[in-house]
Amino acid sequence: MENENTTGHAPTPDNTALKEQKVKLKRPPLYKVILLNDDYTPMDFVVSIIVSIFNKPVDAAKALMLEIHKNGKAVCGVYPFEVAETKMLQVLSIAKGEEHPLQCVIEKE
Ligand code: TYC
């Protein structure tokens, strides 16, 4: 029916319905945290990083490390931007502190 009020709001003075508002809810974008292979960072160190920063069980961390070693890179986790950025900076800081060249990047999904 024309001018039917389906808004849940009080009718306007001329008794026509207020226009429905389209509220577009957007999910926050997610970012992949990717570890890169190199020839020098020890395998055990990479496994310990994946366990401690990305909260993976040891077996999954070993599998991810081997995937990076074989294929050059792997996604270790997917997070909102600020979490992804923090994890990337933590990886880089710990690796630098131990003088390993391990590299880590983030990429929008
Ligand atoms: N390629 C390294 C080695 O043979 C191991 C390694 C794995 C390094 C994963 C970095 O992100 C990495 N010691």
> How far is the CA of 29 from the CAs of 54, 97, 108, in angstroms?
19, 31, 7
- The answer to whether 46 and 68 are in contact (CB under 8 A) is yes
Output the ligand 1 site: residues, CB below 6 A: 35-39, 41-43, 46, 65, 68-69, 102
Residue 107: beta bridge partners? 32
Within 10 Å of residue 64's Cβ, how many Cβ atoms?
Answer: 21
Buried b (16+ CB within 10 A) or exposed e, 13-45: eeeeeeeeeeeeeeeeeebbbbbebeeebeeee
Give residue 38's pLDDT.
Answer: 98
Which residue has the least CA distance to atom 11 on ligand 1? 37
pTM score, whole prediction? 0.81
Å from CA of 23 to ligand 1 middle: 47
Residue 8 has pLDDT above 90, yes or no: no
Å from CA of 43 to ligand 1 middle: 5
Band of residue 85 on the pLDDT scale cut at 50, 70, 90: very high
Mean pLDDT of the chain: 88
Quick: pLDDT tens for 90-103: 999 999 999 999 99
Give residue 99's pLDDT.
Answer: 98
Quick: pLDDT tens for 13-32: 444 555 678 899 999 999 99
Give residue 22's pLDDT.
Answer: 87
Ligand 1 atom nearest the C-alpha of 69 is 7
